[in-house]
Structure 1
Amino acid sequence: MSDVIEYKCPACGGKLEFDSSSQKMKCPFCESEFEVDSIKDHDNCLENIKDDDMKWDSISGGEWQQGEAEIMKVYKCKSCGGEIITDQTTSASKCPYCDNPVVMLGNFAGDLKPDYIIPFKYDKEAAKAALYKHLEGRKLLPKVFKDQNHIDEIKGVYVPVWLFDVDAEGKMLFKGEKLRNWSDGKFNYIERNYYSIQREGNVEFERVPVDGSTKMQDDLMESIEPFDFKDAVEFKTAYLSGYLADRYDVSAEDSIERANDRIKNTTEQLFASTVQGYNSVSRENSSIRLKNGKAQYALYPVWILNTTWENKKYIFAMNGQTGKFVGDLPIDSGASARWFFGIAAVVTAVCFGISLILGLT
């Protein structure tokens, strides 16, 4: 006895049945009707879309030349355990991420050598000016965020970034809906037509960035993107002079999942943007396969200011190449209460004045 094939309604997901009068597949739940061949084609498309295959071929990083690593020093944060590196001419006393003291471990050794570095284009004064502008007009901001001495602690840090190149082959199935409305004077009618929409193609990705530091929040780093790779140069230790560099603690292999998420989301958005002319569109299935994948290691310039307010850490970051500045701001509860009661007093006084006038009339 052969298995019975069940067809699902593309509109509501109910089980379709063959309607002899119309010679079509009909849903007993939403009463949608579909051509038999179109339902077969739709199911064939779903069956042919395979699971994602997002594997990578090669992960690269340079080797240090003789004498290069020896001229750099390593500092370790007593609080968060992070390690930062810099050249022998630059000292570090505090961690750029948590503001706690750092101790010198000794000379640098191990790790991969960065393939590229984007040098800082904006200096410390530009970063401070951007921070002042960010704080401008914020009356409910705690005083610590406006303190000049604290703002002077903004630090230039090269953040480790893995750059992923890959060719993505995508195949996706969408469901589109078109509505037609009309009236005969007595009733209003709505006709719903459903369409199975297929898209497939290739997308080339170059240098998809994933930061290699657990101390630098992914969403914060991504919020100051993009970095323009045209300014990238071959890494040389001279670029570290006067700056700190975060020592990566997330390997390229461990960064692949984040890279795949970014690649998958972008590919799906690109394909979805080609589906137009429908009242609504939903993605039913997708398959993304990667090939020729490789990763390289780079350092990106970031100005960082961190502080703690009411036991919560706040980090501000500025793109050291483009000047883009981001950061969440807290509200001083005391200032907020004073402001609220001040507004309430004004409103009460106005209301009292109105009542008095009404009482005299």
Structure 2
Amino acid sequence: MAEILDFKCPNCGGAVRFDSSSQRMKCPYCDASFDVDELKSYEEEKQSGGQDRMEWDTSSGPKWEDDETENMAVYSCNSCGGEIIGDKSMGAASCPYCGSPVVIAGQFSGDLRPDYIIPFKLDKDQAVASLKKHLTGKKLLPKIFKSQNHIEEVKGVYVPFWLFQCEADARMTYRATRLRHWSDSKYRYTETSVYRVIREGSINFERVPVDGSSKMPDDLMESVEPFDWKESAEFSPGYLAGYLADRYDVTAEKSRERANARVKTSTSDAFRETVSGYSSVTPEGGSVRLSEGKVRYALYPVWVLNTTWKGQKYLFAMNGQTGKFVGNLPVDRGAYWRWFTGLTAVIGAAAYGLVWLLH
């Protein structure tokens, strides 16, 4: 009996035919086409059932160093069992396999448990819209930055903050001046009187925030302040679901220096407002003594956006409660110099006009 050859489509298993118009083997079921020699090789390989030879050299490749794995941790998703790799300060994340929100409960237990949390009020879409608004009206921003910068990451993060509370007894000194002007038929006179002004008193501070995460730039976190404390709540892990969260990796003890600087600056500014009636007032120094100092631990909501333009990364942040948006932008140098030249010309013209009037 003659042997019957039957060529099957590698895609769907249907019998393929030679198509004269294309000079190729064509499947009438899935419309796939193949070169004749290609299909022949496929059939011969299928019939022969050739033996596989698949060997790998698994001994090559660098090994992890101890200092590289020291801060790494592996967690397991309860929904799909997938492994989530992060650092030891990670407190909440999303599973990269199934997208389920994951809260690392152990990160917020015992002495690591936050006292308070301010929940997110604004969502991801509002953060992206705020970035677009932030780029609007910036005359020195390169025009193509809007269209060519790419948002690489938008993440809602609960940032750990230490809240310092104290009473400050302070003594501040200021250098103040008063000016008196007069003139006669020949000269104009200016008399400058210099004073040393002293202010003493007490001032209470509540919840002075200091960023407790080394991952977040302190100046960026201070720029998105203030947060409305009236909307705070006692901490519950349920608030973390769907967001990222870190526990602190900068201790309260290490945060004291920054808290002290903020308290001293705020005290000097508050006392400065009581010095009036002078032509100029300059802070000279002073001393602050703290009492009844207490520290609390809280999580504040922040949207963090990363964009890239011309190989450089730009970091933006938005207060997840109030919507305050901050971040640095590139400057169009050509536009800057055109603006600077125009401003110089305006000032020069104004100065010339003033001199002409005086004469």
Given that residues 157 and 243 in structure 1 are in contact (C-alpha distance below 8 angstroms), is that contact kept between their aligned partners in structure 2?
Answer: yes
Decide whether aligned partners of structure 1 residues 82 and 221 sit closer, same or farther in structure 2, where only a CA change above 3 A counts.
Answer: farther
Decide whether aligned partners of structure 1 residues 92 and 294 sit closer, same or farther in structure 2, where only a CA change above 3 A counts.
Answer: farther
Q: CA deviation at 1:126?
A: 1.5
Give me the whole-angstrom Cα distance separating, in 1, the residues matched to 2:236 and 2:288.
37
Structure 2 match to 1:241: 241
Structure 2 match to 1:157: 157
Q: CA deviation at 1:328?
A: 1.5
1:245-283 per-residue CA deviation (whole Å, 9 max, x = no partner) reads 023110011011111111111111111121111122233
Given that residues 181 and 189 in structure 1 are in contact (C-alpha distance below 8 angstroms), is that contact kept between their aligned partners in structure 2?
Answer: yes
Q: CA deviation at 1:189?
A: 2.6
Decide whether aligned partners of structure 1 residues 74 and 196 sit closer, same or farther in structure 2, where only a CA change above 3 A counts.
Answer: farther
Structure 2 match to 1:202: 202
State which structure, 1 or 2, has the greater radius of gyration over its C-alpha atoms: 2
Decide whether aligned partners of structure 1 residues 175 and 122 sit closer, same or farther in structure 2, where only a CA change above 3 A counts.
Answer: same
Amino acid at match of 1:298: A
Structure 1's unaligned 5+ residue stretches are: 1-69, 94-103, 341-361
Amino acid at match of 2:328: D
Structure 2 match to 1:91: 95
Structure 2 match to 1:141: 145
Give me the whole-angstrom Cα distance separating, in 1, the residues matched to 2:229 and 2:90.
23
Off by >6 Å, runs of 4+ in structure 1: none
Over the matched positions of the two proteins, sequence identity in percent amounts to: 54
Amino acid at match of 1:270: A
Amino acid at match of 1:86: A
Count, aligned residues: 247
1:3-61 per-residue CA deviation (whole Å, 9 max, x = no partner) reads xxxxxxxxxxxxxxxxxxxxxxxxxxxxxxxxxxxxxxxxxxxxxxxxxxxxxxxxxxx
Structure 1 match to 2:218: 218
Given that residues 141 and 329 in structure 1 are in contact (C-alpha distance below 8 angstroms), is that contact kept between their aligned partners in structure 2?
Answer: no
Q: CA deviation at 1:158?
A: 0.2
For the residue of structure 2 that corresponds to 1:227, the secondary structure is coil
Structure 2 match to 1:354: none
Amino acid at match of 2:90: I
Structure 1 match to 2:187: 187
Q: Show the 5 A alignment for 1:255-270.
A: 255-270=255-270
Given that residues 316 and 325 in structure 1 are in contact (C-alpha distance below 8 angstroms), is that contact kept between their aligned partners in structure 2?
Answer: yes
Structure 2 match to 1:171: 171
Amino acid at match of 1:195: Y
Given that residues 74 and 107 in structure 1 are in contact (C-alpha distance below 8 angstroms), is that contact kept between their aligned partners in structure 2?
Answer: no
Amino acid at match of 1:164: F
RMSD: 3.1
Structure 1 match to 2:130: 130
Give me the whole-angstrom Cα distance separating, in 2, the residues matched to 1:332 and 1:247.
39
TM-score (norm 2): 0.62
Given that residues 74 and 85 in structure 1 are in contact (C-alpha distance below 8 angstroms), is that contact kept between their aligned partners in structure 2?
Answer: no
Given that residues 173 and 284 in structure 2 are in contact (C-alpha distance below 8 angstroms), is that contact kept between their aligned partners in structure 1?
Answer: yes
Structure 2's unaligned 5+ residue stretches are: 1-76, 339-359
Amino acid at match of 2:305: L
